[in-house]
Every structure is written in structure tokens, then in C-alpha cells.
């Protein structure tokens, strides 16, 4: 029995070592393919494009600004009125008259959690240990086209990142968020990668909530290292 137990232990260790080696190779291939070293030196991102809301069949323009550390601003139009969401690295605000938010309103914990998932300029997989995160290879995607890597942050939040086996680029990011009082899976599917300043950058994203497409984003322009005023990320100024 002892020999049998030892054999199981050796087999388990061998499988763990193989999985760790596989994960290291997958991550290194991803870092190289996505030019993470270059992206880690980028100070800001400015994206303009179109957002199509599936349920309403409505298309709106948007502009996304990102800057270090973890600052983000999104501007869009809804029902002919401007919508602004900002985050300065500590506090976030929303201004959306068409939704009844006629004065900038501070965001709650759930909204801030959603923003924090988007605020990092580089991938959550890059330099993950220094950020207090753990990473685990959990298997393949449903169709076998991508590796699925789970990232767990220091506070226990989890996100699954799908890395395409052919391109070694991210094809999907999946995480659970609270929506209408219930936990819901939100998937961001990415494709149409184009090289911008030496960095492969997705120019199309489909947002799915509970498996249903909620919106699609088409990026018309992506600029790296554009000078951005710090006031962009503060509480929106209502004119």
C-alpha cells in the first residue's frame, strides 16, 4: 500500500510539473506575441470607435482614455446626450442625464470593480506575481481553440483569460460580476488584431452577458502615449 501511495504521489508531482511547464510556455509565448514588454512602457491609450447596443439596435460613438496608474475615462452619447464615466485610480464617477443621473454620481463598489478589471494597460497576466496575483492553467476552451488561464487577485477575485493557440493572443476574458442583484458571467471576446506602434491591438470586441451579446465595439483609431490631462479622470464637470 505504501508503494502504491508513493507511486500516486510521484504521478501527481509529474503531472503538476508538466502543467507548470506548459503554463510557463503559454505565458512566454503570449508575452512575446502581444509585445507585453513594449506595452508595459506605454503611458496612455486613447481609443475612438463605435458601440452597437444589441437590444436597442442603436449605434453610438465613444472615446476611451487610459493612463497610468489605473486611470480611465469613457465618453459616449446616448439618446442624444453625453454619458461620462471616470476613475482617477481611487474614486469613480458617472454622469448620464439620459439615465436619470443629471449630476456626477460617485460609483459604488460593484461599478468600481468593473472599472478596475479594465483599468490596467497591460494584461493581468503580465508581471502577475509582483501584483499579488496567482495564475493557473485550467484547461482548454469549449471548442479547443484556446488555453484557459485563471488569474486570482490578492482579494480573491477571479478572471479567466483565453489565449488563442494559433496566435498566442487573447481571444476572450471572462469574469463574474453582479448585475441586477445576481451574479452574471460577462465575456469580452476580442479579435481583428492590428499592429499599432509595434503592439498587436484588438480592434473589435463583443461583450456578452450571460451568454447573450449585449454590445459590440469597433475601434476606429488607437493611439498610444498621447498626452492626456490629469483632469480628464476626475469628477466630470457639468456645463
Q: What is the CATH number of the domain that holds 122?
A: 2.50.20.10
Question: Which pLDDT score is estimated for 194?
Answer: 97
Whether 1 shows a pLDDT value over 70: the answer reads: no
- Listed residue (30, 21, 197) closest to 126, CA to CA: 30
Note whether residue 9 is domain-resident. Answer: no
pTM: 0.85
By CB neighbour count within 10 A (0-12 exposed, 13-18 middle, 19+ buried), where does 125 fall? buried
> What CA–CA distance (Å, rounded) separates 130 from 114?
22
Domain assignment present for 1: no
Task: Assess if residue 25 is contained within a domain.
Answer: no
Rg (CA), the chain: 20
Q: Give residue 154's pLDDT band: very low, low, confident or very high (50, 70, 90).
A: confident
pLDDT band at 29 (very low <50, low <70, confident <90, very high): very high
Q: Are 82 and 59 in contact (CB under 8 A)?
A: no
User: Residue 16: pLDDT above 60?
Assistant: no
The two counts, helices (H) then strands (E), for the chain are 3, 13
- Running DSSP on this structure, what letter comes out for residue 190? E
Instruction: Check residue 156 and report its DSSP letter.
Output: S
Instruction: Count structural domains, the chain.
Output: 1
pLDDT, average across residues 83-92? 92
Whether 102 is in a domain gets the answer yes
The answer to the question of residue 239 being in a domain is no
Per-residue pLDDT of 155-211, as tens digits, reads 888 999 999 999 999 999 998 776 666 778 889 999 999 999 999 999 999 999 888
- Residue 12 inside a domain? The answer is no
Domain that holds residue 151: 30-233
Amino acid at each position: 500500500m505504501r508503494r502504491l501511495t508513493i507511486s500516486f504521489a510521484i504521478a501527481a508531482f509529474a503531472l503538476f510539473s508538466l502543467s507548470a511547464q506548459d503554463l510557463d510556455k503559454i505565458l512566454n509565448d503570449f508575452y512575446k506575441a502581444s509585445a507585453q514588454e513594449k506595452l508595459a512602457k506605454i503611458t496612455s491609450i486613447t481609443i475612438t470607435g463605435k458601440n452597437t447596443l444589441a437590444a436597442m439596435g442603436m449605434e453610438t460613438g465613444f472615446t476611451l482614455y487610459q493612463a497610468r496608474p489605473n486611470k480611465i475615462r469613457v465618453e459616449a452619447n446616448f439618446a442624444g446626450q453625453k454619458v461620462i464615466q471616470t476613475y482617477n485610480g481611487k474614486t469613480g464617477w458617472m454622469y448620464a442625464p439620459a439615465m436619470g443621473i443629471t449630476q456626477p454620481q460617485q460609483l459604488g463598489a460593484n461599478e468600481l470593480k468593473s472599472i478596475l478589471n479594465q483599468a490596467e494597460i497591460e494584461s493581468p497576466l503580465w508581471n502577475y506575481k509582483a501584483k499579488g496575483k496567482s495564475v493557473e492553467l485550467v484547461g482548454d476552451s469549449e471548442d479547443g481553440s484556446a488555453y484557459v488561464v485563471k488569474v486570482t487577485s490578492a482579494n480573491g477575485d477571479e478572471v479567466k483569460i483565453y489565449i488563442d493557440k494559433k496566435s498566442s493572443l487573447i481571444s476572450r476574458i471572462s469574469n463574474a460580476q453582479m448585475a441586477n442583484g445576481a451574479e452574471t458571467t460577462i465575456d469580452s471576446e476580442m479579435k481583428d488584431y492590428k499592429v499599432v506602434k509595434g503592439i498587436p491591438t484588438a480592434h473589435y470586441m463583443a461583450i456578452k452577458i450571460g451568454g447573450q451579446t449585449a454590445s459590440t465595439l469597433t475601434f476606429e483609431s488607437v493611439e498610444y502615449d498621447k498626452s492626456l490631462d490629469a483632469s480628464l479622470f476626475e469628477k466630470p464637470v457639468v456645463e
